[in-house]
Copies of this chain bind each other. A is one copy, B any other.
Amino acid sequence: MVKLSLVEENYLKAIYHLSGHGQENVSTNAIALQIQTTPASVSDMVRKLAKKKVVEYTKYQGVNLTNEGTKMALRIIRKHRLWEVFLVKELKFHWDQVHDVAEQLEHIQSPLLIQRLDEYLGFPKFDPHGDPIPNEHGEIEEKPKLTLSSLKECESGIIAAVKDTSAEFLKYMDKIGVYLGAQVTVMDIEQFDRSQEIEIDGAKRIFVSKQVSENILITQ
């Protein structure tokens, strides 16, 4: 298993977060924005990471994590989230005080430390923000996906996937402004046909039929 510097670890983590937990290619610019550096630096670093086999990279096409890279990113995220639990639960930090400190603590190298910390905290499954904590093998339990149609009035979620992947459906999604990662809130449900009025990103409101809402998957 390759050794990564602190900076390389931060790149991996950024790529993981930007890839939306899937394997879409992440752009140089997006990474630069995320970790507050220049696209030029990202270009260099990404080639270095590709040489270490933790990302796949083709010039001008962006990057995505290899299996090994994903596991490493998740191990860093595991540490970050376990430390967050410790800070909030044991040291009485407020949930909005923990991020910067956890950002430092996540780079501490000691498998024994993390194993003991996990045990000490009672093997928590979620961090103080509700995000799942990956296991020691770099595996994460995805949040269960629900259909948009299962939401009640006033409930909301994040668009995670679609069941119907036909070109027509995707084109329709595009037309009504529904995209992966969008925040949706159910404003109203028409009892007669189960159609919903939904609000996208707290702004635009649209109507979707039951047939459509049954084909949209969300996480909460």
By the criterion CB–CB under 8 Å, are A87 and B100 in contact?
Answer: no
A104 to B6, CA, bound (A): 12
| In the assembled complex, A33 has its CB within 8 A of some CB on chain B | no
Of all chain B residues, the one with the shortest Cβ separation from A119 is B91
The SS class assigned to the A binding surface is helix
Q: Which residues of B contact A93 (CB under 8 A)?
A: 112, 116
Query: What 0/1 pattern do residues 96 to 119 of A give for CB contact below 8 A with B?
Result: 010011001100111011001100
CB distance from A21 to the nearest CB of B (A): 28
A110 to B100, CA, bound (A): 9
**Interface size of A as a range:** 10 to 19
Chain A, 30-56, CB within 8 A of any chain B CB: none
| In the assembled complex, A192 has its CB within 8 A of some CB on chain B | no
CB distance from A83 to the nearest CB of B (A): 10
Q: List 11 A-B contacts (CB under 8 A).
A: A91-B113, A91-B116, A91-B117, A91-B120, A93-B112, A97-B112, A101-B108, A104-B108, A104-B109, A104-B110, A105-B105
